Amino acid sequence: MAAEASNGEELNGHEVNGLTPDGTASGGTPEGEGVPWGTFLAEAVHRFERAGLEAAASDARRIIEEVGGYRDPDGRASRPFESMLEELATVRGVAAFDTMVARRLAGEPVQYVLGNWSFRTLDLFVDRRVLIPRPETEQVVEAALKRLPQDRAAAPLVVDLGTGSGAIALSVATEVPTTQVWATDVSSEALAVARANLAGAGRVAARVRLAEGDWFDALPADLRGRVDLLIANPPYIGEQEELPASVVEWEPTGALISGPDGTEALVRVIDEAPHWLTAGGTLVLEMASPQVDPMIERVAATGFVAIDRIVDLAGLDRGLVADWPRADSAEAAEGAAKADTVDRDRNAADADVGDGDDAANAEAGHRDGR
Ligand SMILES: C[S@@+](CC[C@H](N)C(=O)[O-])C[C@H]1O[C@@H](n2cnc3c(N)ncnc32)[C@H](O)[C@@H]1O
């Protein structure tokens, strides 16, 4: 068991010794009296404010919660926060506090510093190998769950392309216990994080499979035409767009940037989705606000029906939901014809780009042949 901070010399020289809870100088902590977590909280708030961090108070609180063992493994508070603040800090806890405060002061996002972040009902492990799951994506999952065809399929087949931490795949699997979920990513590092989250998910993990590869190439061919829900939060930032330093310097580029205007991955997923969705299956995509109208036009031109936009909590367009026509509908034949046209156009474009480039043509053929 870790010793109380007051029992050793570990706290000697610690900045906390010179602070009262409001962060002003106090003349030090009397020897042998112990230092409560509340004093460390005040120190962290003070240092974060001095460094100009926007969310100084909440970042400090989250760090104190983490190092003070405030939550149980299910993420529930183990006791009132105020009473935790009166408890004496442990030596091990203070060492972790020092490391985390230093990392946060160096600009690292608080989510990576903590090593976990909540997403809908989940508490996910996150580090620099994956995008930090965003609240906007929680809304996108909400929209997807509303369309999940629970009435038609006993065990809906769901695909989460570009799963990162596994946030979307694990949420769907957790919240709809009948689903079978495939989660893919091109990044083996991201999949390692998703695998760790699966390991922590208990029995739900038995219904989630991970696969590595470039978008649909990761999926086994026998899923073609069988997917009930295809959901993706692909990279959608343009190459020239400016991003906050906390994003550019810390989050993986491959999770953010997608071609000159950010729509490369979105277009790829929309164009190939008809081959993988079952009749009546649903496509759900997250994207940036200005991309929503052009992508709605694209899914309509591809033959999708029942197209809705997803609006996030800030009132901004954040994505789209669209159904592939049901087999017995008038739109079905039209949809199939449009998808063929899209395929032909794409193959022609691939041929133009890759003229004389055998490797590119072979890759395009591989994609189309699945
Ligand atoms: C914006 S992040 C989304 C992560 C996670 N789904 C979420 O919502 O938090 C995009 C993810 O797509 C993955 N990705 C990028 N290019 C890909 C490709 N060509 N094929 C599959 N996944 C890709 C990235 O590695 C990253 O994990």
Closest residue CA from atom 26 of ligand 1: 255
From ligand 1's centre to the CA of 161, what distance in Å?
7
Mean pLDDT value of segment 59-83: 92
> Residue 214: exposed, middle, or buried by beta-carbon count in 10 A (0-12, 13-18, 19+)?
middle
| Two tokens, residue 300 | 């309509």
In 287-341, the DSSP E strands lie at 305-311, 317-323
The verdict on the CB of residue 49 being under 6 Å from ligand 1 is no
Query: What pLDDT is attached to residue 333?
Result: 66
Domains defined for the chain, CATH in brackets: 5-106 (no CATH), 131-368 (3.40.50.150)
Considering only CA atoms, which residue is closest to atom 12 of ligand 1? Answer: 162
Tell me how many degrees the CA angle 148-120-305 measures, rounded to the nearest 5: 25
Question: For 328-332, what is the mean pLDDT?
Answer: 69
CA–CA distance, 366 with 166 (Å, rounded to integer): 27
Residue 355 Cα to ligand 1 middle (Å): 29
**Is residue 234 lining ligand 1, measured as CB closer than 6 Å?**
yes
Contacts of residue 11, defined as CB under 8 A and 6 or more positions apart, other chains included, come to: 5, 17, 29, 35, 94
The Å distance, Cα 190 to ligand 1 centre, comes to 8
CA distances from 28 to 10, 16, 60, 288 (A): 14, 8, 21, 51
Q: Which residue has the higher pLDDT, 18 or 234?
A: 234
Q: Which segments of 179-324 are extended strands (E)?
A: 180-185, 208-212, 227-232, 277-286, 305-311, 317-323
DSSP string of 256-279, one letter each residue: TB-TTTS-HHHHHHHHHHHHHEEE
Instruction: Convert the pLDDT of each residue in 240-274 to its tens digit.
Output: 999 998 899 999 999 999 999 999 999 999 999 99
The first and second tokens of residue 51, run together, are: 């460094």
pLDDT at 313 over 60: yes
* Ligand 1 atom having least distance to the Cα of 160: 6
Query: For ligand 1, what atom is nearest to the CA of residue 232?
Result: 6
Q: For the segment 89-111, what is each residue's pLDDT rounded down to a tens digit?
A: 999 999 999 999 999 999 999 99
Task: Give pLDDT, residue 72.
Answer: 85
Asked if residue 46 has pLDDT above 70, the reply is: yes
Residue 368 has pLDDT above 60, yes or no: no
For the residues 145-168, what does the mean pLDDT come to?
Answer: 86
Q: What is the value of pTM for the model shown?
A: 0.84
Average pLDDT, the chain: 85
Nearest-CA residue for ligand 1 atom 27 is 164
- Reported as a pLDDT band with limits 50, 70 and 90, residue 350 is low
Give residue 268's pLDDT.
98
Residue 251: per-residue pLDDT: 95
**By C-alpha distance, which of 173, 151, 146, 155 is closest to 326?**
151
Which whole number is the average pLDDT over 73-80?
A: 86
Task: Identify the pLDDT of residue 332.
Answer: 67
pLDDT of residue 284: 98
- Flag whether pLDDT at 347 surpasses 80: no
Residue 4 confidence class, pLDDT cut points 50, 70, 90: very low
Ligand 1 pocket mutation, candidates 111, 128, 165, 185, criterion most atoms within 8 A of CB: 185
Contact 162 CB / ligand 1 (< 6 Å): yes
Amino acid at 76: R
**Pocket test residue of 122, 184, 186, 214 for ligand 1, highest count of atoms within 8 A of CB:** 186
Q: How far, in Å, are 148, 157, 227, 259, 268 from residue 128 at the CA level? A: 31, 30, 31, 22, 26
> In Å, what is the CA distance from 166 to each residue of 43, 124, 171, 209, 224?
35, 8, 8, 10, 22
Tokens of 257: 């940037």
Which residue puts its alpha carbon closest to atom 14 of ligand 1? 162
79: CA distance to ligand 1 center in Å?
A: 37
